[in-house]
Amino acid sequence: MRKGLYLFLAVAFSLGVLALVAHHPSSNSGQSRRVLYWVDPMHPSYRSDKPGTAPDCGMALEPVYAEEASHGLLPPEDPVAGTTHIDPATQQLYGIRLAKVEMGDGHGTIRVFGRVAADQTRIYRVNLGTDGYVKETHDDAVGNHVTKDQHLAVVYSPEFLSVAGGYLSANERTPGGMNASKENTAPSTTLGATSAQARADRLRNLGMSDSQIMEISMDHKIPENVYVVSPTDGFILSRTISPGLRFDRGMDLYTIADLSHVWILAEIFGRDARAFRPGATARVTLQDTGESFKARVSDVLPEVDPATRVLNVRLEVDNPGFKLRPDMFVNVELATSLPAGLTVPADAVVDSGLSKRVYVETSAGHFEAREVETGERLNDRVEVVKGLREGESVVAAGTFLVDSESRLQAVSNSASSTPAASPGKAGSDHGMN
């Protein structure tokens, strides 16, 4: 009987202890499971005060409990306020490179693309001042090189015949013809010479060449055919003539360009316009062969492209061997100089439109965003007027990645400030769930 009493007391004690534990839960256990915030498992720097999904990868956010923070299981906060932390391994992985702020000597080269164009003062349009038809053409394909006074076509027009007859008649009434001595000043001689000269000018206006007019004077014959000749040494750019074609007065039959001297048309931004002053010397280089030519800046044209906001500059260059051809692209280089000043690589500057900033390394793996004022750009470097000191290190490659990481960390710190200010609410919400 005593043994049964002991068993009864033991069971009653155990039930009492269990009831006491159920009625008074351990405060330490409740505190250890209190949620501080939720984080992105792929990017622990992102924090949220409520469960959900990560905005970058869509993964479910994971809770971070108070006990994990107390045991140092969370990633440490950035030790330097206002900076972005990127460890060296990550920098190497994403190609982030640093460069020094240097004092530039102000000497550089402006490089732009140019396009070859025919000199418009050396383009000739061949037409006739009368109607007629084409009897034949000779070696006049587009692209052919022709010489001055080379016969390109043979045409017929009755108006040429009547004017040529009057010229021949007036020329025969002049003693010595068109080569009469100036000492022979008799009225009849003067009148005949004047009449012959007027008819010769009339033939030129109709389109007859000086060589054929001279041929009429020497042969004393009215030509049945009129030759269309090239007015210069050059290349045929266009041709609208063919045998049997009837042409109208003033119709362009050929366009011929002298390409021994050509233009280079280049586009520049306003900040480079002062370097391309008229008379400045530049170098023009062929992209394929690397051959270079000496060019001279002729003028900066006043028009501005409404889409790109660039200026057009014109250069003139001699073209021996006709290696520079219309519509060919070339490289244009112009040496320039500016006062010495601090410079950084052009890729180091992040231009948001309203401000410009660079990322300066304050300590190993820590970068500070700093606004700067920039000046002129020479080659691949930009002058910094304000905001940097010589010798500082700035991000020169991967700047966009550092800028993006800086913005993400700023958003993360802003989001984490809410649960940090009211941890009790987060804990009570968790306890209710």
The per-residue pLDDT for range 402-420, each reduced to its tens digit, is: 888 777 766 656 555 545 4
Q: Between 147 and 186, whose confidence is greater? A: 147
Instruction: Measure the CA–CA gap between 240 and 245, rounded to whole angstroms.
Output: 9
Helix, strand, coil % in the chain, rounded to nearest 5: 30, 35, 35
Structure confidence by residue, pLDDT tens digits, 249-302: 999 999 999 999 999 999 888 777 777 888 899 999 998 888 999 999 988 777
What confidence score (pLDDT) does residue 417 get?
Answer: 54
What confidence score (pLDDT) does residue 50 get?
Answer: 81
Q: Are residues 135 and 216 in the same domain?
A: yes
Q: Are residues 43 and 69 in the same domain?
A: yes
Q: Are residues 161 and 273 in the same domain?
A: no
Which pLDDT band, with edges at 50, 70 and 90, does 43 fall under?
Answer: low
Mean pLDDT of 328-355: 86
Q: Are residues 238 and 270 in the same domain?
A: no
Q: Are residues 96 and 206 in the same domain?
A: no
Q: Please report whether residue 323 resides in a domain.
A: yes
Q: Which of the residue ranges 59-68, 103-112, 291-300 has the most confident prediction, judged by mean pLDDT?
A: 291-300
Which pLDDT band, with edges at 50, 70 and 90, does 83 fall under?
Answer: confident
Q: Please report whether residue 114 resides in a domain.
A: yes
Sign of torsion over alpha carbons 188, 189, 195, 199: positive
| Domain-terminating residue out of 328, 353, 385 | 328
Q: Please report whether residue 12 resides in a domain.
A: no
Instruction: Measure the CA–CA gap between 372 and 389, rounded to whole angstroms.
Output: 11
State the total domains in the chain.
4
Q: What is the pTM of this model?
A: 0.58
Residue with tokens 């950035």: 78
Q: Are residues 284 and 299 in the same domain?
A: yes
Q: Please report whether residue 6 resides in a domain.
A: no
Cβ atoms within 10 Å of 56's Cβ, excluding its own: 11
The H-assigned helical ranges of 173-252 are 187-206, 210-219
Domain that includes residue 53, residue range = 24-76+398-433
Q: Are residues 212 and 233 in the same domain?
A: yes
Q: Please report whether residue 16 resides in a domain.
A: no
The CATH number of the domain holding residue 282 is 2.40.30.170
| Domain-terminating residue out of 219, 250, 281 | 250
Q: Between 264 and 51, whose confidence is greater? A: 264
Q: Are residues 363 and 410 in the same domain?
A: no
Cβ atoms within 10 Å of 225's Cβ, excluding its own: 13
Q: Please report whether residue 335 resides in a domain.
A: no
Mean pLDDT of 43-57: 75
